[in-house]
A and B are shown apart, each in its own frame.
Chain A
Amino acid sequence: MSKAAGPDFPLRKRASHDALFPAVRQLADQLILLALLASICLFILYPMVCILWRSLQDGDGVSFAMYAHVWRKYRQSLYNSMLTATCTALLCTAFSVAAALLTATGKGWLRVLGMGLLLITMVSPPFVSSLAYIQLYGRRGWITYRVLGLSLDPYNCWGVILMQSLSFVPVNALFLMGMLTKMDQGSLLAARDLGARPKHILRDVVLPLIRPGILVCLLLSFVRSLADFGTPVIIGGRFSTIASDIYMQLMGFSDLEKASAMNMTLLLPSVAAFFLYRYLMVKTGSTSGERSQQRGLWLPLHRCGALGGILAGGGIFFFLVLVLQYICIFASGFIKRVKGVSVFTLDHLERLMRYNADTLVRSMVYALIVALAGTFFAMLFSYYVYRRKVRFGSFFDCLATLPYMLPGTCFGIGYILAFNHPPLKLTGTALIVIANMLFKQLPTTTKICTAALAQIPDAQEKAVRDLGGDKLTVIKDVILPGMRPAFLSCFAYNFSSSMTTSGAVLFLIDPGNQLAVFRLFDAVNKGEYSMAALIATFIILIVVVVEGLVYLLASRKEKAHVS
């Protein structure tokens, strides 16, 4: 030792000084990595391979016979799917741009209201729009029948397109708003300085700048519409899409070969869209790292000429429909008709408590488990794959992002095929549901974690190693603490998604262990609209309360950090 001055400090023999101990920890590090990569292969790649393999089975060997059959028999549904997806993508993107512009340029409480409505819609369970649609505009709809005296048949393709468009808007609108508020205010000022009037600014600066974002919205809405089976099942009537046909197939549990081939047909455009999406996102630039300005965008829409007027009108229409929808949902759980008059009642609530309380609790427990396990998984996965640069990292990165675009039916049937026989018989267990939610949400959580990881300086990691810590110590002392903000966002995202997920999970739940979303879907299909509305209300309430708590926790910790 080169120490010349200074007092002596006693050492105590510790486990970390045993010769064996570092080797064990080294092994543990490798095992964690192995477990992460193996899970990705098992829960994402393997189910996909199972679908492909099963779709090529034909009694006595490998063939494309099933595809030919699907192609012949479901031509009309395929056509319907393409038509619906195209119309939905266009309409939804138009609404999204309008809603984003209206909210971003709104002043004070108007913007807060717009944001609030979008966020509530984000955390609403699916089918809520369809449920409200039937009640508001159906044969006995509050608006069409009682106010306007019409008796319209709501079950057709236009209803499907309209409802899909409405329910896909919030994600798109929030994404576009992120781009709008992060927009370089300098270029707006420069345009004004050069004599551009608001309508020129909108046309020449604002819309061109968010063009890549608009493309992403088109793509996402298209794929979501293709994959959505809930809306056509509920309000399609005789109008069916390939996704709703798959749902019917699976519920009958008739022909897994056929269902696989149908899913592969649906999978191809989704995977194509996925690669296009990745390409577009690179061009859009990763915006998740930097913090968005909380200021709005200066642009008086009402002075933006005809285009501005149309956009403002579209946005206002969208928000009005949204407000009506939520009034309808929240109110109808507490209203019953007595002799032609609507009166307040707690009957539905009482029935909910008696028959559905357990499903709500189970949903919460599952969501909490997914939120915790999924967040840790994403944190570790992003560290090992993006920071430690494991071999074949980009392959695993691609696998981990794939579920983002995977239709729920695909992910569901993949799990059924992969895990319905020993040695991995998981069907009917809670584990299959939890794993399905976790890996479906992994793309988004990994993205959040990778952005946070980029903020942790390399030197902190090196300092731990330098001072005597090993790779596991780096994770414990630098990576996990440094990702705390990401932990909270991932937790909130995982929780709300798990509470409201509808896709694959519907096929995987054991009838004895139902979740709230399943009951909601069931109630809508049976025509128990008040009960459905009440379940939806409770799901929204639970998610809003939990997210609120997380938000409070985050802002309190942040304040403590600053002081």
Chain B
Amino acid sequence: MYLELHQLNKRFGEKEVVKDLSLELAQRDLLCILGASGCGKTTTLNLIGGFLAPDSGSILLDGQDVTALPPERRPVATVFQSYGLFPHMTVLQNVAYGLKFQGMDRAAARKKGLYYLELVGLADRAGSRIHALSGGQQQRVALARALAVEPKLCLLDEPFSNLDAALRTKMRHELKRFQEELGITMVFVTHDQEEALILADRIAVMEEGALAQLAPPEELYQNPASPSVARFLGVDELVWREDGTVLKIIKQ
């Protein structure tokens, strides 16, 4: 498979935060890691991104073992929950930031940065300071910055949790559109069942650091692997679109 996690383990002191986690993901698919707060989702993402080293296990991306590579050498880009934008740079400088490390010259980087800004609909704010943008706009800049380096894998850690409900719905649809149009492979972390069911090609449900079930949304809904997964989903009924994706969710 394109992304493979083999038997990952991570502990902080006595606490086992990730336990024997194995996952697989095909190219151009979007995987949602779904789980309650504190179950080890961010830690898993940090392992994939290279910000933490696993105690054991390995990570393969596009056939290459990246387990020992530092973050700057992994073809992975992250959209952080708090965005992590650089406040002393303009919007465009933020988006083009990663390109200089790929050996792109200034003019080309600028052009490419603008291209991705246009994609997220913020070309007119290229010269603005980060603090002058709204939360939703900052979110798009963070997304554009990650996409601009054309990573093999894009990681998103609860990217919409700081947005209000209406904006969140809108961003979900846009994200899905980019992902499909650009054919990006994504791992998306969330604690929101609805978000996972709407976005994901496959959902990995995590419980206390271990994988509880890995399945497409429909199968997860039809056949929850355990009562606890069913309870966590807490969904009564799904309304499907013709193409098989989720249209609406009716909660108990």
Contacts of A468 in B (CB 8 A): 72, 98, 101-102, 149
Chain B binding site: helix, strand, loop or mixed by DSSP? mixed
CA distance A9 to B111 in the complex (A): 8
Chain A binding site: helix, strand, loop or mixed by DSSP? helix
* Inter-chain contact A478/B28, CB cutoff 8 Å: no
Q: Does B145 contact A (CB under 8 A)?
A: yes
Report B52-90 residues with CB < 8 Å from chain A CB.
70-73, 76-78, 80-88
Q: Tally A residues with Cβ within 8 Å of B.
A: 37
CA distance A458 to B50 in the complex (A): 15
* Inter-chain contact B101/A16, CB cutoff 8 Å: yes
* Inter-chain contact B185/A2, CB cutoff 8 Å: yes
Q: Does B184 contact A (CB under 8 A)?
A: yes
Interface membership of chain A positions 1-22, coded 1 if the CB is closer than 8 angstroms to chain B and 0 otherwise: 1111111011111101100001
Contacts of B76 in A (CB 8 A): 466
Q: Does B172 contact A (CB under 8 A)?
A: no
CA distance A462 to B83 in the complex (A): 10
* Inter-chain contact B103/A459, CB cutoff 8 Å: no
Count of inter-chain pairs, beta carbons less than 8 A: 112
CA distance A158 to B185 in the complex (A): 79
With both chains docked as a complex, state the minimum distance between the C-beta of A21 and any C-beta of chain B, in angstroms: 11
Cβ contact of B103, chosen from A2, A16, A467, cutoff 8 A: A16
Q: Does A470 contact B (CB under 8 A)?
A: yes
With both chains docked as a complex, state the minimum distance between the C-beta of B161 and any C-beta of chain A, in angstroms: 13
Cβ contact of A457, chosen from B72, B84, B102, cutoff 8 A: B84
Nearest CB in chain A to that of B148: its residue: A467
Interface membership of chain A positions 466-478, coded 1 if the CB is closer than 8 angstroms to chain B and 0 otherwise: 1111100100011
With both chains docked as a complex, state the minimum distance between the C-beta of B118 and any C-beta of chain A, in angstroms: 10
Q: Does A323 contact B (CB under 8 A)?
A: no
Q: Does B43 contact A (CB under 8 A)?
A: no
Cβ contact of A1, chosen from B49, B87, B115, B152, cutoff 8 A: B152
CA distance A465 to B101 in the complex (A): 10
With both chains docked as a complex, state the minimum distance between the C-beta of A289 and any C-beta of chain B, in angstroms: 17
Q: Does B150 contact A (CB under 8 A)?
A: yes
User: Footprint of A on B, CB under 8 Å?
Assistant: 27-28, 49-51, 70-73, 76-78, 80-88, 97-99, 101-105, 108-109, 111-112, 115, 129, 131, 145-146, 149-150, 152, 181-185
Given pairs A11-B104, A467-B145, 12 additional interface contacts (CB within 8 A): A4-B181, A9-B109, A461-B84, A462-B71, A462-B80, A463-B85, A463-B145, A465-B70, A466-B146, A467-B98, A473-B101, A478-B86
What are 18 sample pairs from A and B whose C-beta atoms fall under 8 A apart?
Answer: A2-B28, A2-B152, A2-B184, A5-B181, A9-B104, A11-B104, A11-B108, A12-B103, A13-B103, A22-B73, A459-B80, A461-B84, A462-B78, A463-B84, A467-B77, A468-B102, A473-B101, A481-B88
